């Protein structure tokens, strides 16, 4: 019996929220994990219409699991009395642990003694039929073994992947393709901002699902070995980083367009033409963000019901670690993009700036502090404030009177230099005595810079910071992380707005941001000898969690 047949027959169908669902549109129903939702319409396999208290709205069917189905009869209003605990109780939730075993409410099915064999009524319940002699229908096996539980998780993964492919197809063909036809309404830059790399994600997911289908055992789903599929495609999942980083800009661009009624009617016409459910376009565009976050939870659930001796166990365990790392790195990239406005503001506060903007090559302040600097042709020590970003080291000089004012004095391209430790004592290259020193040596020439810290601890922090910088650059190259021209323009606009609103005088800029200590998790430190003044507060490094991921961890579940 289908869900809609139960609902249309007068049964009350309840579902339990497995994950949090934060609404992004007026017609969506918000709930948290553990909430009980009354299902009012399940005619669409992907999105159901439900009710919590007095609130009604759409919600993703994959975010809930069946809880119970109640059927009421006008001629029978007396509740069943408490029954012995030895009787079978059947549950609609296929993989949840029995939670009503000791209940004395109306949730009773075939409570008559049956001599060990299930009666006809029980058989009907197990096959999904409503027994008219009872007030309740709860489906499922009372004691499912691990194989059945694993099969349920496998089936859920396969089902959601197939639905997700259709969802991506609807976005690409229903929205993006139609937008490209209307050159009078959209230009290429707008479409890039709104849809990001959704077509790349669609192509990747089709290949991923094809491989999943090959590994899927239709007769015995619990024997399926899908772990290797995730490992084989692990590099491909990094394309979600670009999409997630762009999502906020997409929402902002859509918000601006929707102020014009033409765009509202256009997107609604696209939805109707593609026969999509009644959800706004921003709700559809949110799905890839939710999807990448859902993988770790699904794999954790799969690993939970995979026996150690199962041939897929070690692959699922490895896949879980991979997908957790992907989501963590996406969070880190998003955090960095949230900081680019502050980097642009900091650059605007530095006097006599020359050359390219910081954001042309960099997106993260890794460490900063004061060092003595000796450049080989001169051999004279100079006190400078250094700012280590990914790809470049910026040199600044403090104002002699206003120590919170910085003057730009140059930069070093870190891609062209190697970092080398220097032992205390006489240095052969500079013919000077050094202590707590390290060098930057040009890979293509004999150019050398030597830096001296005041304490060994500070020197070690710098060495670790340089190591972190190279690691960050390599990871960015691996996943193709970069700041888009649109994001750079937005940062520049933000600087102009802040400058105008605050009436910032370029003669009295705020001082530089505090540095990050590579040795301390999630902390930034300012060197002891640095002037104390107003500073920009940069978000914490990847050890801390960005507000962006906190929001989508509620949308795309990490917990039950």
- Whether 515 has a pLDDT exceeding 80, the answer reads no
- H/E stretch holding 241 reads helix 239-257
| 31 inside domain | yes
**pLDDT tens-digit map of 469-493:** 999 999 888 777 778 777 788 788 7
Give the percent of the chain with pLDDT over 90. 44
pLDDT score at 69: 54
Instruction: Kindly indicate the confidence band of residue 191, based on its pLDDT and cuts at 50, 70 and 90.
Output: very high
Helices (H) then strands (E): counts for the chain: 15, 15
Q: Domain count for the chain, please give it.
A: 3
- Domain final residue, candidates 499, 532, 550: 499
The range of the structural domain enclosing residue 20 comes to 3-74
pLDDT score at 28: 79
Residues 302 and 363 in one domain: no
Residues 360 and 441 in one domain: yes
- Domain final residue, candidates 58, 74, 90: 74
| 300 inside domain | yes
pLDDT score at 371: 94
Residues 24 and 164 in one domain: no
Q: How far, in Å, are 38, 41, 65, 106, 542 from residue 5 at the CA level?
A: 15, 10, 18, 21, 49
- Domain final residue, candidates 74, 94, 129: 74
Q: Which residue has better confidence, 519 or 422?
A: 422
Residues 176 and 294 in one domain: yes
| 491 inside domain | yes
Residues 289 and 151 in one domain: yes
| 226 inside domain | yes
CATH number of the domain enclosing 172: 1.20.900.10
Q: Residue 302: which residues within 8 A CB-CB, separation 6 or more?
A: 150, 153, 154, 157, 226, 316
Q: Residue 406: which residues within 8 A CB-CB, separation 6 or more?
A: 349, 350, 351, 385, 396, 397, 398, 399, 509, 511, 512
pLDDT score at 330: 85
pLDDT score at 2: 66
Maximum mean pLDDT: which of 26-40, 107-121, 500-514 = 26-40
Instruction: Kindly indicate the confidence band of residue 501, based on its pLDDT and cuts at 50, 70 and 90.
Output: low
| 88 inside domain | no
Find the mean pLDDT for residues 275-300: 91
- Whether 254 has a pLDDT exceeding 50, the answer reads yes
| 84 inside domain | no
**pLDDT tens-digit map of 18-37:** 776 765 455 778 887 778 89
| 514 inside domain | no
| 344 inside domain | no
Residues 65 and 152 in one domain: no
pLDDT score at 351: 94
- Whether 525 has a pLDDT exceeding 90, the answer reads no
pLDDT score at 70: 53
CATH number of the domain enclosing 59: 2.30.30.40
CATH number of the domain enclosing 469: 2.30.29.30
- Whether 151 has a pLDDT exceeding 70, the answer reads yes
Residues 395 and 478 in one domain: yes
pLDDT score at 494: 78
| Torsion of the alpha carbons at 21, 24, 26 and 28, rounded to the nearest 10 | -30
């Amino acid at each position: 019996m289908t869900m809609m047949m139960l609902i249309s027959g007068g049964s009350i169908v309840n579902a339990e929220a497995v994950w949090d669902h934060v609404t992004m549109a007026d017609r969506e129903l918000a709930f948290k994990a553990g909430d009980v939702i009354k299902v009012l319409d399940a005619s669409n396999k992907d999105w159901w219409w439900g009710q919590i208290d007095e609130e009604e709205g759409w919600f993703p069917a994959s975010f809930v699991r069946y809880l119970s189905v109640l059927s009421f009869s006008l001629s029978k209003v007396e509740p069943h009395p408490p029954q012995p605990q030895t009787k079978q109780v059947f549950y609609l939730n296929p993989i949840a642990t029995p939670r009503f075993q000791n209940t004395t409410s109306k949730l009773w099915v075939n409570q008559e003694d049956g001599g060990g064999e299930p009666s006809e009524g029980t058989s009907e319940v197990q096959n999904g039929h409503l027994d008219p002699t009872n007030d309740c229908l709860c489906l499922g096996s009372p004691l499912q073994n691990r194989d059945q539980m694993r099969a349920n998780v496998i089936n859920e993964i396969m089902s959601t992947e197939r639905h997700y492919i259709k969802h991506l197809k609807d976005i690409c063909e229903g929205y993006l393709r139609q937008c490209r036809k209307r050159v009078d309404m959209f230009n290429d830059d707008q479409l890039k901002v709104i849809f990001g790399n959704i077509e790349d994600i669609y192509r990747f997911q089709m290949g991923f699902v094809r491989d999943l289908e090959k590994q899927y055992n239709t007769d015995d789903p619990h024997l399926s070995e899908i772990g290797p599929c995730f490992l084989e495609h692990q590099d491909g999942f990094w394309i979600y980083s670009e999409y997630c980083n762009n999502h906020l800009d997409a929402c902002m661009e859509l918000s601006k367009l929707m102020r014009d009624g033409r765009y509202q009617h256009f997107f609604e016409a696209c939805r109707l033409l593609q026969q999509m459910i009644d959800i706004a376009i921003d709700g559809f565009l949110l799905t890839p963000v939710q999807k990448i976050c859902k993988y770790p939870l699904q794999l954790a659930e799969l690993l939970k019901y995979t026996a150690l001796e199962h041939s897929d166990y070690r692959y699922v365990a490895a896949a879980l670690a991979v997908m957790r790392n992907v989501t963590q790195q996406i969070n880190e990239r998003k955090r960095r993009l949230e900081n680019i406005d502050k980097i642009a503001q900091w650059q605007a506060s530095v006097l006599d700036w020359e050359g390219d903007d910081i954001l042309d090559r960099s997106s993260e302040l890794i460490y900063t502090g004061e060092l003595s600097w000796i450049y080989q042709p001169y051999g004279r020590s100079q006190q400078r404030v250094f700012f280590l970003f990914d790809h470049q080291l910026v040199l600044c000089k403090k104002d002699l009177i206003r120590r919170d004012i910085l003057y730009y004095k140059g930069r070093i391209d870190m891609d062209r230099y190697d970092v080398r430790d220097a032992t205390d004592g006489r240095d052969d290259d500079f013919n000077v005595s050094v202590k707590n020193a390290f060098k930057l040596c040009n890979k293509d020439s004999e150019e050398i810079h030597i830096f001296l810290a005041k304490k060994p601890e500070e020197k070690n922090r710098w060495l670790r910071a340089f190591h972190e910088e190279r690691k960050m650059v390599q990871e960015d190259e691996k996943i193709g992380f970069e700041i888009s021209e649109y994001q750079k323009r937005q940062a520049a606009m933000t600087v102009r707005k802040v400058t105008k609103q605050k009436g910032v005088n370029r003669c009295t800029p705020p001082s530089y941001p505090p540095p990050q200590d590579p040795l301390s998790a999630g902390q930034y430190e300012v060197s002891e000898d640095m002037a104390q003044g107003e500073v920009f507060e940069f978000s914490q490094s990847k050890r801390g969690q960005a507000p962006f991921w906190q929001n989508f961890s509620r949308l795309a579940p990490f917990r039950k």
